[in-house]
């Protein structure tokens, strides 16, 4: 079933390719009936809308974890800095207003629980089992490892762990996400299910 929303999702700021988005939607639809979903790294909400649309169909919710002040590469003077998302008055990169506007326009606010804090803070007292976790947060090794360690343990058996920006070669992109992907596989707790572009999908055994 194709995704139909009252918003031009291709116009939303973000770094999710079309084939990756379709795969994310597919697995979200598979899992949303089994429990809540969670993503780390919402940015302006492009991936959130795909997850939330699946949750609407199943009557579930997606927890959207993001401090909304951008990763290292989004800061002033860095490669992926977007001046339209920079709050010059406060001197911070800020994606939260854009994120909320996109949820409202898409009519999906009732299916998203924004958690505006780092993974470590959100996970500190977390007890809810999750049906799917999508990791697309900071790309430093420290940040990527923290996201994995905070949330992978909360996946139900049979649940999906999806990790974005897997680049086998350093010249293609940062190596932290694929290092975490390999760590998950080596743990013996996950099996590989699918690779679509730079999106890796694992299932909790």
12 inside domain: no
108 inside domain: yes
Q: Over its length of 205 residues, how does the chain's per-residue pLDDT go in tens digits?
A: 778 999 999 999 999 999 999 999 999 999 999 999 999 999 999 999 999 999 999 999 999 999 999 887 888 888 889 999 999 889 999 999 999 999 999 999 999 999 999 999 999 999 999 999 999 999 899 999 999 999 999 999 999 999 999 999 998 889 999 999 999 999 999 999 999 999 999 999 9
pTM of the model: 0.96
**Taken in order 181, 185, 188, 189, is the CA torsion positive or negative?**
positive
Distance CA 40, CA 55 (A): 16
Of 62, 65, 88, whose CA–CA distance to 76 is shortest?
88
Q: How far is CA 75 from CA 45, 70, 72, 78, 85, in A?
A: 18, 7, 6, 5, 10
8 inside domain: no
- In this structure, are strands 37-40 and 62-65 parallel, antiparallel, or unpaired? parallel
Asked about 139 being catalytic, the answer comes back as: yes
145 inside domain: no
- How many other C-beta atoms can be found within 10 angstroms of the C-beta atom of residue 43? 27
Query: Which residue out of 68, 74, 139, 164 is catalytically annotated?
Result: 139
143 inside domain: no
- The CATH number assigned to the domain holding 42 equals 3.40.50.150
5 inside domain: no
Domain extent at residue 57: 17-137+150-168+175-184+194-204
95 inside domain: yes
Of 17, 18, 2, 30, whose CA–CA distance to 203 is shortest?
30
The number of distinct structural domains making up the chain is 1
144 inside domain: no
């Amino acid at each position: 079933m194709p995704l139909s929303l009252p918003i031009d999702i291709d116009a939303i700021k973000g770094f999710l390719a079309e084939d990756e988005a379709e795969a994310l939607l597919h697995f979200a639809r598979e899992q949303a009936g089994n429990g809540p979903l969670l993503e780390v790294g919402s940015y302006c909400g492009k991936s959130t809308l795909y997850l939330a649309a699946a949750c609407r169909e199943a009557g579930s919710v997606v927890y959207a974890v993001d401090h909304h002040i951008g990763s290292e590469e989004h800061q002033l003077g860095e490669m992926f800095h977007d001046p339209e998302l920079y709050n010059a008055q406060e001197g911070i990169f800020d994606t939260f207003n854009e994120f909320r506007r996109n949820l409202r326009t898409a009519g999906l606010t009732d299916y998203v629980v924004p958690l505006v804090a780092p993974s470590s803070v959100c996970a500190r007292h977390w007890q809810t089992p999750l049906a799917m976790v999508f990791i697309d947060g900071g790309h430093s090794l420290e940040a990527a490892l923290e996201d994995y360690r905070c949330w992978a343990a909360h996946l139900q058996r049979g649940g999906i762990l999806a990790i974005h920006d897997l680049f086998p070669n350093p010249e293609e992109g940062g190596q932290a996400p694929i290092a975490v992907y390999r760590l998950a596989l080596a743990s013996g707790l996950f099996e590989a299910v699918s690779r679509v572009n730079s999106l890796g999908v694992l299932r909790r055994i």
